[in-house]
Amino acid sequence: MDKKQRVRLVDIAKIAGVNKSTVSLALRVDPRIKPETRDRILAVANRLGYRPDPHLSHLMGYLRSIESRNHEECVAYLKLEPSEIRDLDRIPFFREVHSGARSEMEKLGYRVEVFRLRDYEFNTKRLSDVISHRGIRGLLVSPPVGITELTGFDWSRFAAVTIGFRLRSPQLCRVVCDQYMTIRTAMDSLAKRGYTRPLLAHLKGRDAHVNRRWSVAFRGSARLFPSFKKTEVFSGNPDRAFVDFVKESQADCVLGLGYGFAEALERSGFGIPNDIGFALLDKHDGPAGISCVDQQPFLLGQMSARQLSGFLDRNELGLPSNPFTLTISPSWCEGGTLKPYVDCENRRPSVGEKAHH
């Protein structure tokens, strides 16, 4: 065959002894094709040097998505929350993630249905069977709370994407906030304002949920800013022990994973920002007007939906052999809880910064 001529599906079909549609299904790893037949077809395709036409692949993906929309294909938004938490959507961050995922899936032509593991008495096999019998192929696993493993599912029936780091088993493709860049963004802002003794404060367990990425990023980033004389990490409740820790460490600024830490400081007589600076590492943890980092949970949900849609278009079901992680970059939001920049009190926000109203 002329090397300059593109290998066609009909060429593969002729040599493999099957029809063109069987070749198309085999190349998309469709479960309707027997493994031995699929392997034979793939071997022929590799021997001939077959390469898909990206424009044609995009068109076929679009046509399949149109067909799915006509049948109103549904995807499951799976909530893994303990029985004592009635609805994670009451928490602003989780509500934004859910909203972003739902709006993007609907824009792509899918209907979204929420399933809660606790409604099935935490019986994962039963939930898996229910979802599968409903004809649902796609799973968006919301950020779990108190649950790190999801066994009992027949993953060969589903394409799945998980949101965040908390689900550790099975290993799925995931879309996550970038804790390292969140810390770096905040630390850069502190350094430019002349702070020298920052303190990271979080509730016990919150750092562990993300495999200690918060504290590791904090300690690692501190080395990049020579102006920081001392850094400390507090893990616990925003109570008297926290206030005493701040006084003992002589911190001049607190990076908080929770607005309760700012409230504890103010109850103890600290003026913010005159006596001590405060910045939130998650915009959605506090009221407007706080200096903070926006981890962009709405975009987190959107990108999770896009990844799942791609898997469904390509019929990529089952656990991935090489799971990947997609990180969402944060942005800095100016507020009134930090002192002005040392170089210019009226400094305008640089690229990536925005006002927090």
Q: What is the CATH number of the domain that holds 102?
A: 3.40.50.2300
**What average pLDDT does the segment 18-47 reach?**
85
Residue 23 has pLDDT above 70, yes or no: yes
pLDDT band at residue 102 under the 50/70/90 scheme? very high
Other C-beta atoms within 10 Å of 147: how many? 18
Residue 85 has pLDDT above 70, yes or no: no
**What average pLDDT does the segment 67-81 reach?**
76
For position 90, what pLDDT does the model report? 81
Quick one: what percent of the chain has pLDDT higher than 70? Answer: 88
Tell whether 86 and 128 lie within a shared domain. yes
Is 59 among the domain residues? no
**What average pLDDT does the segment 179-201 reach?**
95
Residue 127 identity: L
Residue 348 has pLDDT above 50, yes or no: no
Tell whether 45 and 148 lie within a shared domain. no
Is 57 among the domain residues? no
Residue 245 has pLDDT above 80, yes or no: yes
* pTM of the shown model: 0.77
Tell whether 107 and 207 lie within a shared domain. no
For position 47, what pLDDT does the model report? 87
For position 63, what pLDDT does the model report? 58
Residue 34 has pLDDT above 70, yes or no: yes
Instruction: Say how many domains are in the chain.
Output: 3
Is 253 among the domain residues? yes
- Phi and psi, residue 103, nearest 5°: -65, -40
Is 64 among the domain residues? no
Tell whether 19 and 123 lie within a shared domain. no
Tell whether 347 and 250 lie within a shared domain. yes
Q: What is the CATH number of the domain that holds 18?
A: 1.10.260.40
Residue 66 has pLDDT above 90, yes or no: no
Tell whether 155 and 257 lie within a shared domain. no
Beta-carbon contacts of residue 35 (< 8 Å; ≥ 6 apart): none
Tell whether 211 and 116 lie within a shared domain. no
- Tens of pLDDT, residue by residue over 312-334, are 988 899 999 999 999 999 999 99
For residues 238 and 294, the answer to whether their CB atoms sit within 8 Å is no
For position 8, what pLDDT does the model report? 85
29 φ/ψ sector (left φ>0, alpha ψ -120 to 50, else beta): left
pLDDT band at residue 270 under the 50/70/90 scheme? very high
Tell whether 154 and 287 lie within a shared domain. no
Tell whether 290 and 303 lie within a shared domain. no
Tell whether 90 and 218 lie within a shared domain. no
Residue 349 has pLDDT above 90, yes or no: no
Q: Which region among 133-147, 180-194, 232-246, 250-264 has the lowest average model confidence (pLDDT)?
A: 133-147
- Tens of pLDDT, residue by residue over 128-178, are 999 999 999 999 999 887 788 888 888 999 999 999 988 889 999 999 999
What is the number of alpha carbons within 13 Å of residue 353 lying toward its C-beta? 14
For position 53, what pLDDT does the model report? 67
Is 303 among the domain residues? yes
Tell whether 226 and 318 lie within a shared domain. no
Residue 68 has pLDDT above 60, yes or no: no
**217 lies in which domain range?**
179-294+332-355
